[in-house]
Amino acid sequence: MALLGARLDYAVPRILYHQGQLARLFTDFCGNKGLLKAAHGIPYLKHHPALARLRSRIVPDIPGDRIEHFPKFGLEYAQRLRRVTTISEKMQTYLWSSQTFCELILKRGISSPGLYVYNSAGLELLEWSRGQAGHITVLEQTIAPKYLHMELFDEEWQRHPDWEPRELNCAASVAYAEREAAEWQLADRILCGSEFVRQGMIDSGVPGDRIKVVPYGIDPRFRLPPREAHDGPLRVLTIGTVGLRKGSPYVLAAAKALKGLATFRLIGPIQASSSAQQALDHALELVGPVPRQNILEHYAWADVFLLPSICEGSAAVTYEALACSLPVITTPNTGSIVEDGMSGYILPIRDVDGLVERIEFLARHPEERQRLALNAQRQSELGTWQSYQQRLLAALTGISGAS
């Protein structure tokens, strides 16, 4: 398996390892390997911010001899990302990291006849595997195709040109989209988290029978019971990068329309312009990024979770919100497991009137909010790590490798 980052807390490699199907995990950083592992035992480094970030890169359950990592590459990748100032530069960095990661893995050597990669970071590995007799390849598409992403972003920019630079349709983004499309042609099976992503690939020419939808799961310990009713305004929480893709302009519009009746809290890295930030600051509580270990207290604060995203794969925060007994108001493009009218509401993208109407209704009808909260708790059982394991293993059965 080739995995840049710690996606879903390394859920897929952990599942495969426990099933005896993981020969080797290749990644950028691994906090329980070599010098990075030793650094955790140095007392004066205990509270260092860099070491705190490394703790999120400790791979649970998998022994170190099954993991190959490239910390020098990972450090350079992180440094390059910190230096980018435009979307074009960010996309160029993604392209560099994806190709370099694959090249490093090929130099290290692959011994297993099976290969599991993620979109944009597996092309060279898939090309190599195509020439190996009997090899089986799996590609996970974690978000809607870049072609669709670019189209939706451009539509958003037309509506909100003062929020972000119009740079997503740059040459590097086109190259990224072409890289994804090439990977689709090479993989024996493609997995994705939602029907929204699957349909995006079908619209791009991928045969539907090669794609399996496998909704994700989260740690079952991530859970809160339904909250008791409280005095004061309805508390609406949004978690995600503040910008056009996550639908932040629509969170702002709802907060303005419902001032006094509902209070809004927006958490996540801020990608929006300074003028957009000022507008958000005047209408809601703009928190910025929050350490992972502190995020549960914000779910505990909320009555409702709102994520009006324009383009996602299957947003993990919606699974978390359901597990925290929060009704979720979202869009089809978020790729959630929310049932409309049962555990929340699914509205078309950009439907400000619908968002305002639903939030106002929940603010004025606490009994309906309680019903949705109880259903959200039940619905979350479909989004546990255990249920994800069952879906993933079922999707991986019966794959035939290319000859």
Helix 71-83 to helix 87-108 angle (10° resolution) is 170
Task: Let me know whether 390 and 374 are in one domain.
Answer: no
Task: Let me know whether 35 and 167 are in one domain.
Answer: yes
Residue with tokens 């022994």: 63
Task: Let me know whether 106 and 182 are in one domain.
Answer: yes
Q: Is 298 exposed, middle or buried (0-12, 13-18, 19+ CB in 10 A)?
A: middle
Q: Is 306 exposed, middle or buried (0-12, 13-18, 19+ CB in 10 A)?
A: buried
Give me the domain span that covers residue 335. 234-383
Closest to 332 (Cα-Cα) out of 299, 296, 316, 308: 308
Residue 400, in any domain of the structure = no
Residue 194, in any domain of the structure = yes
Residue 276, in any domain of the structure = yes
Q: Is 202 exposed, middle or buried (0-12, 13-18, 19+ CB in 10 A)?
A: middle
Q: Is 333 exposed, middle or buried (0-12, 13-18, 19+ CB in 10 A)?
A: buried
Task: Let me know whether 377 and 391 are in one domain.
Answer: no
Task: Let me know whether 178 and 245 are in one domain.
Answer: no
Task: Let me know whether 315 and 372 are in one domain.
Answer: yes
pLDDT at 398: 79
Task: Let me know whether 100 and 157 are in one domain.
Answer: yes
pLDDT at 45: 42
Residue 363, in any domain of the structure = yes
Residue 376, in any domain of the structure = yes
All residue ranges of the chain with pLDDT < 50 are 38-42, 44-45, 48, 402-403
For 21-58, what is each residue's pLDDT tens digit? 999 999 998 877 655 554 444 454 455 455 555 666 78
Number of domains comprising the chain: 2
Residue 134, in any domain of the structure = yes
pLDDT at 38: 45
- Give a three-class secondary structure readout of the chain: CEECCCHHHHHHHHHHHHCCCCCCEEECCCCCCHHHHHHCCCHHHCCCHHHHHHHCCCCCCCCHHHEEECHHHHHHHHHHHHHCCCHHHHHHHHHHHHHHHHHHHHHHCCCCCEEEEECCCCHHHHHHHHCCCCCEEEEEECCCCHHHHHHHHHHHHHHCCCCCCCCCCCHHHHHHHHHHHHHHHHCCEEEECCHHHHHHHHHCCCCHHHEEECCCCECCCCCCCCCCCCCCCEEEEEECCECCCCCHHHHHHHHHHCECCEEEEEECCECCCHHHHHHHHHHCEEEECCCHHHHHHHHHHCCEEEECCCCCCCCHHHHHHHHCCCCEEECHHHCCCCCECCCEEECCCCCHHHHHHHHHHHHHCHHHHHHHHHHHHHHHHHHEHHHHHHHHHHHCCCCCCCC
Q: CATH number, domain at 334?
A: 3.40.50.2000
CB count in 10 Å sphere of residue 356: 19
For 193-238, what is each residue's pLDDT tens digit? 999 999 999 999 999 999 999 999 988 778 898 888 888 999 999 9
pLDDT at 31: 78
Residues with Cβ < 8 Å from 38, sequence gap 6 or more?
none
Query: Judging by DSSP bridges, how do beta strands 234-239 and 114-118 pair with one another?
Result: unpaired
pLDDT at 53: 58
pLDDT at 341: 96
The pair phi, psi for residue 191, each rounded to 5°, is: -110, 150
Task: Let me know whether 178 and 252 are in one domain.
Answer: no
The torsion of the CA quartet 40, 41, 45, 48, rounded to 10 degrees, works out to 30
pLDDT at 30: 86
Residue 226, in any domain of the structure = no
Task: Let me know whether 46 and 71 are in one domain.
Answer: yes
Task: Let me know whether 180 and 322 are in one domain.
Answer: no
Task: Let me know whether 241 and 137 are in one domain.
Answer: no
Residue 228, in any domain of the structure = no
Q: CATH number, domain at 120?
A: 3.40.50
Task: Let me know whether 213 and 253 are in one domain.
Answer: no
